[in-house]
Structure 1
Amino acid sequence: MSKRELDIVIAKAKADPTAVRTLRCRTVALGRLHQLNYIRNLPPQPVMEDEPEGLLGESTAPNASEALLAALGSCLSIGIHANALAQGIPIRSLELRVEADINMTSVWGSGDLHPKTIGFETIRVCVDIDADASRKALAALIKHTVLWSPVANTLHNPVHLDVALAPATVA
């Protein structure tokens, strides 16, 4: 993306600051622990197809928790690139290592149900960036990116989650 293209995207967003876009994904279970995810008009994504070996899976694709880490890494990466471009900081290379700690003993509510953190306990992101800027400027760039990242904020801030049974269909 060029600086001009970035400016156009930003201008469109500023045209209606109250606009809210709804993103959608349809997940279809294929049996056992295999799913396909349908997003926009893209081909089905087997992103969350499988669990690791030893956890009812075959380790052929990322599991749901790993896909969440990939979403965070991707969102931060695009945010770092966009903000570096806006600030005139050329990036030669960028790699994010994202890892999280999770207690698997109570996963899905089917194991040890004694009180403990359900889901990630800690998420760590290490940003390895080669760019024409000082360490202080790069640290500020990363801090700014995290502050404005939709995925980072979804993980960091309480989000209303509404999960309900679909209405009955008439046969």
Structure 2
Amino acid sequence: MSEATAIASIDKQDLDNLIAKNSEDLEEQKTLTVRTVCDRKMRSLNHARDLEPFVIDEPPGLLGDNTAHNPSEIVLGAFGSCLVVGIQANAAAKGISLTKLEVELVGKINISSTWGTGELEKPQVGFSSVEVKVDIDGDASREELDALVQHANEWSPVSNTLSRPMPISVAMA
């Protein structure tokens, strides 16, 4: 039986430096900006920072061309990725070497109103539940790994965004 290869970790000193920097002002909020441009039909290009735009599209069953993930899949992917980041950071902080980290997310979603163009008397649209399963292995006990996962979820900005109400303002430019 061969030993599992460790997943590349973040640098502990870099993490400590980031912790120190972020601890200077606990009330400071960062501003993130994404500019979304309709490319065609249900396909949009999303511009963030100085990166190439990421594409979002709908599958044919939702009138798209199936060229990219749909918005709801991106939400689940953002949640899964945020958990991975939190688990990796906390594993590094605790000196835990991970050999496997996979997150599977399954969301139950209501789209019955067809983006507000159909029946509007139906139940509230959007995700009604999300089930997350984390497949993780490393040089720690199952209990320590579970605590790591639960801690990452508790402190995940995306998990907190999805699980609590927040004001959203939408206006004409």
User: Normalization by structure 1: what TM-score?
Assistant: 0.92
Deviation of 1:165 after TM superposition, in Å, equals 1.1
CA deviations over 1:12-52 (Å, ceiling 9, x no partner): 10122222110000001123111100101111211x1x111
| Aligned position for 2:76 | 69
| Aligned position for 1:33 | 42
Task: Identify the range of structure 1 (109-118 vs 25-34) with the bigger mean alpha-carbon deviation.
Answer: 109-118
Higher relative contact order (CA 8 A, sep 6+): 2
> Of 112, 127, 134, which aligns to 1:105?
112
What percent identity do the matched residue pairs reach? 48
Alignment of 1:158-169 (within 5 A): 158-166=165-173
Q: Matched residue pairs, number? A: 164
Deviation of 1:3 after TM superposition, in Å, equals 0.9
RMSD: 1.1
Task: Tell me how far apart the structure 2 counterparts of residues 34 and 145 of structure 1 sit (CA, whole Å).
Answer: 32
Deviation of 1:151 after TM superposition, in Å, equals 0.4
Q: Contact 1:33–1:51 (CA<8 Å) still a contact in 2?
A: yes
Q: Contact 2:100–2:138 (CA<8 Å) still a contact in 1?
A: yes
Tell me, what secondary structure is at the counterpart of 1:28? Answer: strand
Q: Contact 2:113–2:120 (CA<8 Å) still a contact in 1?
A: yes
In structure 2, list runs of 5 or more residues that go unmatched: 1-9
Task: Tell me how far apart the structure 2 counterparts of residues 27 and 38 of structure 1 sit (CA, whole Å).
Answer: 6
| Aligned position for 1:82 | 89
In structure 1, list runs of 5 or more residues that go unmatched: 167-171
> Of 24, 29, 34, which aligns to 1:20?
29
Q: Contact 1:25–1:37 (CA<8 Å) still a contact in 2?
A: yes
> What stretches of structure 1 move > 6 A for 4+ residues in a row?
none
Deviation of 1:85 after TM superposition, in Å, equals 0.9
